[in-house]
Amino acid sequence: MSALSPEKPRILALFDVDGTLTVPRGEITAEMLDFMKELGKMITIGIVGGSDLPKQEEQLGARIVSMFPWNFSQNGLVAYKNGELLEVQTIAKHLGEDNVKRLVNWVMKYLSEIDIPIKRGTFIEFRSGMFNISPVGRNCSRPERDDYEKFDLEHNIRKIMVEAMKKEFADLDLTFSIGGQISFDVFPRGWDKTYCLRFLSSDDFDEIHFFGDKTFEGGNDYEIFSHERTNGHTVTSPDDTKEQCTKLFMSSDCK
């Protein structure tokens, strides 16, 4: 259980991971982690990321589920409060195996037919609550990841693929969310980051803030950023997150 007892427990700040607390797929710096712990003395903190818990632990530390009061991986489909597991939801159970196979087969055929500068491995990652699809493959190196991001921004590889999938799988009522540098997520409608809000009672919080970098429409932070229950904040880097939080929650005007 988190040892933090914030001065203002009814103010909750939720944080995306990639591009918000860390550089994409990078580890949190000691300085940033220390800042978050100090912030946790002022307000209640929650983490809400699209990746699964093992990846979140790689980036934020093995004890992240108990470091802060709330932890949501896979958009909240795996939810922890004070280090204790609340719920696990699965996409396979929701869609059924026939539809899972249909989607996987279509994606592999589509990716085999597109021409991009490089392809590596792990093009589809099956998570308990979503599919993560990467045209270049998640096994690419960091320089390859950076190069692909530039290529994708110029040629809209992910956006075009998403539009094709929306047409092909219209009957499944899925949401497609582009996030990070190299991939996009596919999950049932309503299973975006707003899923975590069902665990956060309005009786417990006066304010819920969300900080994320992919807050544009179609980005994987958009739905929770624009939700009526949250105050959304767009950040550009961990340093920007630190600066905005300092002004909002830790300056002399806020005390």
Residues serving a catalytic function are: 16, 18
Give the pairing of strands 207-212 and 231-234.
parallel
Q: Do 163 and 184 meet the contact criterion of CB atoms below 8 Å apart?
A: no
- Tokens 């860390």 — which residue? 22
> In 114-210, which residue ranges form alpha helices assigned H by DSSP?
142-155, 157-168
How far is Cα 109 from Cα 25, in angstroms, rounded to an integer? Answer: 27
Which residues are CB-contacts of 45 (< 8 A; sequence separation ≥ 6)? 4, 6, 12, 13, 15, 36, 39, 68, 69, 70
CA 150 to chain CA centroid, nearest Å: 21
CB–CB of 197/224 below 8 Å?
A: yes
In angstroms, the CA 230 to CA 101 distance is: 36
